[in-house]
Structure 1
Amino acid sequence: MRVFRKRFASTRRATVLARRLAQGQLDAWGVPHGSEASDTAALIVAELAANAVLHAYVSGRGFELGLLLREDGVLRIEVTDTRADKALPVVAVGAPADSESGRGLLIVQGVADHWGTAEGPPPLKTVWAQLAIGESHFVRAPG
């Protein structure tokens, strides 16, 4: 299993950085930048990171991005924040039609194979998504 973890500040700029670093890490693992798998993973990272910044902001605390690529080609994306007092979503709920936000988890639900939430030791919570990249979709890096 390949693992990448990185902490970020709770800023909008950090969500962009998280997405870019995720794509770079996947590329290093043999999932080519610009491939469907890389683009889908980047979308999931962007949505989960944006949710952590917008809905779980605590001054002085950030969020953590975790990428876990299993040998069978399943990618697990985790975003952990420090707002366990916020209710964990159990279903993706849409926003009102005239709203400019509120559809992030619907997007994640639409592109991920599975997604969910997990409570960590207080005050942590994690929202995760899994994506089957499949062994045939990535090139094994030497070594």
Structure 2
Amino acid sequence: MLPGTTTTTTTREAQFASTPRGARLARRLAVRWMEEWGHPPESDASCTVALVVGELAANAVQHGRVPGRDFRLGLVHDEPSGLVRVEVADAASGKRRPPVAPPSACPEGESGRGLFLVDVLAERWGWEPRHPVGKTVWAEVSCQPG
């Protein structure tokens, strides 16, 4: 980049083992990237992105895991729009239907709230096929002050 120029969109990507440890590491790395982009770990933006990454990574590990295949985390920080796009891609085949809406969680249940939380916290979210195999679930989180 030339001196005096600025970039308004920054992308970061990393791959992780499809394990609970990999999901935890993805969340930690997302917090580090958010800090690099001017959102300290204790900020609302960083906490929200961390929660969304944690939920999507946990879902990739639990529902999209293919033995011997990793999942990919991508974050795109778009300063002009004030959004961070979180993308979690797994290698699961078409055996399971991708998410279309957050399931209604049983209040007494121990799980089943992940996509509900993503739906509440994100400006919007969805999924798209990943070629040659798998899917990418994405969510856009507002990172504007106040």
Residue 76 of structure 2 is aligned to residue 76 of structure 1 = no
- Check conservation: 1:80, 1:126, Cα contact below 8 A: yes
In the aligned structure 2, how far is the partner of 1:127 from the partner of 1:52? 9
2:129 is the counterpart of 1:119: yes
Partner of 2:40: 32
Q: Assess if the C-alpha contact under 8 Å between 1:84 and 1:122 holds in 2.
A: no
2:6 maps to which residue?
Answer: none
Amino acid in structure 2 at the alignment position of 1:66: G
Letter in 2 for 1:74: L
Superposition TM-score, scaled by structure 2 size: 0.88
Q: Deviations over 1:44-78 (max 9, x none)?
A: 00000000000111100110000000121211000
Determine the C-alpha separation between the residues in 2 that align with 1:31 and 1:96: 34
For the 8 Å contact 1:84–1:119, the answer to whether it is kept is no
Q: Which amino acid aligns with 1:14?
A: G
Give the letter for the 1:78 counterpart.
Answer: E
Question: Unpaired runs of 5+ in structure 1?
Answer: 138-143
1:87-129 Cα distance to aligned partner (Å, 9 max, x none): 1111111233432111100010011110101112131200000
After TM superposition, the score normalised by the length of structure 1 is 0.90
Aligned to 2:58: 50
Match of 1:141 in 2: none
Whether the aligned pair in 2 keeps the contact of 1:81 and 1:126 (CA below 8 Å) is: yes
1:14 to partner: Cα distance: 1.0
User: What's the % identity of the aligned pairs?
Assistant: 45
Taking only aligned residues, the RMSD between alpha carbons, in angstroms, comes to 1.3
What amino acid sits opposite 1:111 in the alignment? Answer: L
Indicate the structure whose relative CO is greater, using CA pairs within 8 Å and at least 6 residues apart. 1
Gaps of 5+ in 2: 1-8
Task: Kindly tell me the number of residue pairs found equivalent between the two proteins.
Answer: 136
